[in-house]
Amino acid sequence: MRVLILGIGGAVARRVALQLRDKGHTVSGIDTRPWEDAPADIEVHDVDLRKRPAEDVFRTRRPEVVVHMATVTSLRVQGEERHRINLGGTRVVFEHCRTYGVKHAVFVGRHTFYGAAPDSVLYHTEDEPPKELASFPELADLVAADLYASTALWRYPELTTSVLRVCYSLGPSAQGTLATFLRGRRVPMVAGYDPLFQFLHEDDVASAIALAVEKRVRGVYNVAGPQPLPLSVIIREAQRQPVPLPMMVLRQLIGRFGLPKLPPGALYHLQYPIVVDARAFKEATGFTYRFDEVRTIESFLADHPPPRPRREELFDRLEALGVLKQ
């Protein structure tokens, strides 16, 4: 099959591309981010998805399957720009799919769709609506993109649409929300809270998306793998240092002293769990994960050991300069 991957420059998207290529599909992709060492048999188009040259790719390459991974989750991109990329981009993708006779569209969304709240159920099923959008409006564009993609199921019945709500990914690339959060030596927590986090090795995420392409599943599916873990356990096993701070203090400190800049709503995700039920996807595709939670954290840790304390680095430099003796 001819497969077009949108957002092919991302760590997981690259893995999807390689897996599908290895299975004999003709893979091409669109991204403004570079993929320097892309294999010669994977064509990468450096164009903006919302611009005319992207439509030219659809028209000239005539993909049978489109995997839409060109959404932004990073909360560093905010406001109108996020809205344009996530919702505007998704709309354009489905219009092109319809115009150029694409048979199968896969929208890769996030499990954060369901929202974090004290009365949220553990193991959300696909028929549940999003919650807590008012407290975390920055996520609204991703939720809207997910719901827009879901409407293709009835608006374009001739197009097989898969909407995947994928849990956090973790692995050697250290890309993604959870991995970025764990990169530093100290990891902030909201004191008194220790939510469950659900994650999947990035190779397994790629396998799940490739499986959705091959099985051509139609509908909305949660995608997850091993059991969730409390955030404190993930931090401990990743050999980071948890820094529990009262909510009021954390609100004041985010974006300062090396802590990530996050909108206040994001702190809800450090208080309450978002855990999804992925049984429907497993039944539809037969998906099984290769990396359990222990191996997934180990693979992240192997490539991203905790940064050394600044004091040690300073001593090393002083030793190198001969100021201190070994």
Using CB under 8 A, list all residues that contact other proteins: 118-119, 121-123, 125, 190-194, 196, 226-230, 233, 237, 247, 272-273, 277, 292-294
Q: Which residue in this structure is represented by tokens 């530093």?
A: 184
The smaller minimum CB distance to other proteins, of residues 37 and 127, is found at 127
Contact criterion met (CB below 8 Å) for 310 and 258: no
Contact criterion met (CB below 8 Å) for 291 and 205: no
- What's the one-letter identity of residue 155? R
End-to-end Cα separation, the chain, in angstroms: 61
The smaller minimum CB distance to other proteins, of residues 116 and 139, is found at 116
Which residues are CB-contacts of 132 (< 8 A; sequence separation ≥ 6)?
115, 116, 117, 120, 265, 268
Query: In angstroms, what is the minimal distance from the CB of 252 to other proteins?
Result: 17
The smaller minimum CB distance to other proteins, of residues 196 and 259, is found at 196
Burial class (CB in 10 A: 0-12, 13-18, 19+), 255: exposed
Question: Using the 8-state DSSP alphabet, how is residue 88 labeled?
Answer: I
Contact criterion met (CB below 8 Å) for 72 and 86: yes
Nearest Cα neighbor of 166 from 174, 176, 156 is 176
The smaller minimum CB distance to other proteins, of residues 151 and 288, is found at 288
The smaller minimum CB distance to other proteins, of residues 122 and 318, is found at 122
Burial class (CB in 10 A: 0-12, 13-18, 19+), 257: exposed
Query: In angstroms, what is the minimal distance from the CB of 277 to other proteins?
Result: 8
The smaller minimum CB distance to other proteins, of residues 7 and 273, is found at 273
